[in-house]
Chain A
Amino acid sequence: MSLKLVVGQKILTDVLHSLKEQGKWKVLVVDQLAMRMISSCVKMHDIMNEGITIVEDLHKGREPLPNMEAIYLTTPTERSLNALVRDFDSSADLQYGGAHIFFTEACSEELFNWFCKSISSKFVRTLKEINIAFLPYESQIFSLDNSETFQYYYKPTKMAGWNEMLERVATQIVTLCATLGEYPVIRYRSNFERNLELAQLVHKKMEAYKADDPSMGEGLEKARSQLIILDRGFDSVTPLLHELTLQAMAYDLLPIENDVYKYETVNNSKEILLDENDEIWAQYRHEHIAKVTRNIADIVKKFQADHKDKKSTDKMNIKDLSMMIKQMPQHQKEVNKYSTHINLSEDCMKQYENRRIEKLCRAEQDLAMGETPEGEKLTDPMRSVVPILLDQNYSSFDKLRIILLFILSKNGISEENLNKLIHHAQMTHEERNIVLNLQNLGINILSDGGAKRKQWTPHRKQHITEETLDLSRWTPIIKDLMQDGVEGRSDARCLDVRHFPFLHGHQEYIAAQYRAEKVLY
């Protein structure tokens, strides 16, 4: 079942439905994380159906509704609890009639005790911990929705708050495991030191959850689960490439903000939410743009043909009319969907041509693969880079991407060469710093001076077939890693035990599977 569905159902049943009373409306109060969480998997009309009359932000000015009870869904932080206490601390001026509190995760003892003693705790009718503190972003993707983490994890000078951040991340990951009922073995990429620390913390927290709910991770299927902790440095190539599959391309080239795609039609502008409820999006987002364009055109043609038949007779009789009316709502919806996706793919292609992405793709793919489409080794990669750097029409961001790909393909270049590239591309000092800062991900940027870090070059599977397009030869490393993980062979060559060790040894993993099998038979 999709992760979104699991979390959505949990929120609807465990939180909202359990408190639904006929004829008694309630207010739902959320903080930032809870809002983003609910938003990603439950629709407003589902919430309203469970007797909620309005959803409000805990930290914004709210309308007092003393004759209604409120359901709070928040992270158990000091800030949120303070706001909650303030809602009930003056009996003459109550915000709501009562409080049903749901914490996203376990509340610390210290805060809990402090809250017990506050006068506001008398208004609490429900107090539960739901242990969901992540966004189910797609059916198989989660996000911790915590953009600051990146800085903490990679910026060597940002040390204050490091422990708190790591604790938080570990807790969030563990709530994901708890939600799925998983108790996985933990692996981490050993080339980046900080991964080990995170892995250990996740393990510690998971033990605590397992003590609360021993059924976590039981069953043959679950005994095979692995949690693999990666840092961005495991594959720096993929995010730099201009990818030509629909989702990646649209997010790269179009101003899509928070998954909302905006476009202009003849008489008005439209805002469309790109998510899995949109079947066309769900079906085609990982397809190459050429295929998307072709297939959508086919669907529309078929749709038109289907509907032409019905109108071919000139006289509109009762039957036509009634059929038309019956199809009206469905019809309208479909027409809108098609026009959205035609617009989306056209927009992508327009950008592709206007910004001459094709030429970029060609150079990028050569650099990433280290060979030409014909399979010849790239002897002078500089030759693919320089024409792009000299071209005034490419943005400095595109140039930055190609420079980085070049450096990655060389596993670091001399400072002199870097300066030359920067000079050719007419880049600013800040942009030069971006290049140098990438060293913090554990990548070699400069080959002279300073110790060169040992790089891990994964053993790649062969992905190129007859059908592979020249401009899409690269396959993200994560794919090989996951395939190896699923196959579970101990001699895996990409998800190699030497680079991705088990936190508690490989033997323990095998033993756990053995135990699970024994229970089964």
Chain B
Amino acid sequence: MPPKDRLAELQKGQKGKITSLPEVTILIREDAVEKFLEKVENVSQSIDLVESKIKAIKEIHSSILNSHSDSHQEKEEQERVMKQITQIATNIRNDMQGLQKEADKPGLSNFTFRMRKTHHSSLARRLVNVMDVYNTEQADYRQKCKARMKRQLAIVDPDGKPKTDEEMENLLESKNLQIFSQGILANSEKAKEALADVEARHQDILALERNIIQIKELFFEVANLVDAQNDTIDRLENNIELGVNKLNDAKDQMGDALIKQKKARKLKVCLLITVLVLLAILVIGLAVQFG
């Protein structure tokens, strides 16, 4: 059932009752809230950007895997986009640290604390999800490259045993590109092509891993952004209560202060009465003596 719109009914009900809209002057405050939200917006847009870059990487990967010839252009493009992602992600990380600092500042009001904390945790969650996608894509690509190398090697060396997964991994590990041609006589044109392809794939994987090492710290940090507390912050009920303890403490202190104030007032009244009584006695005494 779609929501029932009753705005028109409301406006009809208003007719004739209120003639003009009350004059409203809104003070636009150039305040901390606006500034903080602007930063949040920026980070959010950067995450959008990373998302679109990951999409681009996916396309490049599938195009590399589908082409037979070794296109330098695509490789360069891939390298470039990966670098961009690393760069943007590093910036986001720095911005996030800034936001975190602002959220953890001591002495914030409940409202400000809750707002900042929640924005930070939502962004962190999004970022982690996006980076997860990136991870999966890279692992996927590596897997596909490997499978293709295996197929090509079978063409190069039709008599050799099919390589086991472990042998493949060992081959991938070595940085020596010549390893594939050793002991294999590429005697046909087709085999030569295949060998070239294997070497190209191998280079791909090495490049991929260089990139991963570069951003490994980033991955660690991003993963740590979503801490254990996050589950409860992410639940509205707990979120609304967030920082209330802080507020209650403040209220308790207020209560204490009020009690103290009352006590002090009582004491004052007592003193005043005593002084008055003494004075009265004195006056009466004097009056009796001199009267």
B290 CB within 8 Å of chain A: no
Q: Which of A39, A65, A319 contacts B33 (CB 8 A)?
A: A65
- The 8 A CB mask of B5-36 against A (1 = contact, 0 = none) is 11101100110011001111111110001000
Give the docked Cα–Cα distance between A42 and B235 (Å): 8
Collect the chain B residues with CB atoms within 8 Å of residue A434's CB.
none
Q: How far is the CA of A299 from the CA of B217 in the complex (A)?
A: 29
Contact of A48 among B14, B26, B122, B238 (CB under 8 A): B122
B109 interface residue per 8 A CB criterion: yes
Q: Which of A49-57, A280-288, A424-432 contacts B (4 or more CB under 8 A)?
A: A49-57
Chain B residues within 8 Å of chain A by Cβ, number: 64
CB within 8 Å of B: which A325-347 residues: 325-326, 328-330, 332, 336
Asked if B3 contacts A318 (CB within 8 A), the reply is: no
Stretch from A109-117, A224-232, A399-407 that touches the partner: A109-117
Instruction: State whether the Cβ of A473 lies closer than 8 Å to any Cβ in chain B.
Output: no
What would be 24 A-B contacts, judged by CB atoms less than 8 Å apart?
A35-B236, A36-B237, A49-B126, A55-B236, A56-B240, A62-B111, A66-B27, A67-B29, A91-B25, A97-B26, A112-B10, A116-B10, A116-B14, A119-B22, A122-B14, A122-B22, A212-B1, A258-B237, A271-B229, A318-B213, A319-B169, A325-B220, A326-B138, A328-B219
Q: B-contacting residues of A (Cβ < 8 Å)?
A: 14-15, 23, 25, 30, 35-36, 38-39, 42-45, 47-49, 53-57, 62-63, 65-67, 91-92, 94, 97, 102, 106-107, 112-113, 115-117, 119, 121-122, 124-131, 178-179, 181, 209, 212-213, 216, 258, 260, 268, 270-273, 317-319, 321-323, 325-326, 328-330, 332, 336
Structural contact, B118 and A329, CB atoms closer than 8 A: no
Chain B residues within an 8 Å CB radius of A270: 228
* Partner among A14, A102, A121 whose Cβ is within 8 Å of the Cβ of B14: A121
Q: What A residues does B4 contact at CB under 8 A?
A: 106, 128-129, 131, 212
Please report the C-alpha to C-alpha distance between residue A271 and residue B128 in the assembled complex, in whole angstroms: 21
Q: A44-B118, A44-B234, A116-B17 are in contact. Are A127 and B228 (CB under 8 A)?
A: no
A residues within 8 A CB of B139?
Answer: 323, 326
CA distance in complex: A48, B125 (Å):
11
Is B196 an interface position by the 8 A CB rule?
A: no
Closest chain A residue to B206, Cβ basis: A318
**Is A54 touching B111 in the complex (CB atoms < 8 A)?**
yes
Q: In the assembly, what is the distance between CA of A180 and CA of B131, in Å? A: 36
Closest B residue, CB atoms, query A91 = B22
Whether B37 sits at the interface, judged by CB under 8 Å, is yes
Q: Which residue of A lies closest to B109 (CB)?
A: A63
Residues of B within 8 A of A14 (CB): 2-3
- Assess the A127–B7 pair: CB atoms within 8 A: yes
Chain A residues near B65: list those with CB within 8 A: none
Are B237 and A91 neighbours in the complex by a CB distance under 8 Å? no
Q: Which chain A residues border B173 with CB–CB below 8 Å? A: 317-319
User: Taking A45-B126, A318-B213, A332-B223 as contacts, is the C-beta distance between A122 and B232 under 8 angstroms?
Assistant: no
Any chain A CB within 8 A of the CB of B86? no
CB distance from A205 to the nearest CB of B (A): 13
Which of A23, A44, A271, A273 meets B122, CB within 8 Å? Answer: A44
Q: How far is the CB of B194 from chain A (nearest CB, A)?
A: 24
**B266 at interface by CB-CB < 8 Å:** no
Q: Residue among A54, A67, A130, A317 with the most chain B CB within 10 A?
A: A54
| Cβ contact within 8 Å between B239 and A44 | yes
> Bound state CA distance, A198 and B231, in angstroms?
39
CB of B199 to closest CB in A, whole Å: 18
Instruction: List 16 additional contacts besides A45-B122, A57-B240, A326-B139; criterion CB under 8 Å.
Output: A47-B236, A49-B126, A54-B114, A62-B111, A121-B14, A122-B22, A127-B7, A216-B1, A270-B228, A273-B235, A319-B209, A323-B139, A325-B212, A329-B222, A332-B223, A336-B228
Chain A residues within 8 Å of B22, by CB: 91, 119, 122
Contact yes or no, A179 B1, CB < 8 A: yes
Q: Do residues B10 and A121 form an inter-chain contact, with CB atoms below 8 A?
A: yes
In the bound assembly, the distance between CA atoms of A258 and B213 in angstroms comes to 43
What is the CA–CA distance of A49 and B119 in the complex, to the nearest angstrom? 10
Which residues on A sit within 8 Å (CB–CB) of B122? 44-45, 48-49
Q: How far is the CA of A38 from the CA of B132 in the complex (A)?
A: 27
> Are the CB atoms of B111 and A117 closer together than 8 Å?
no
Q: Do B24 and A45 touch (CB < 8 A)?
A: no
Least CB distance, A319 to chain B, in whole angstroms: 6
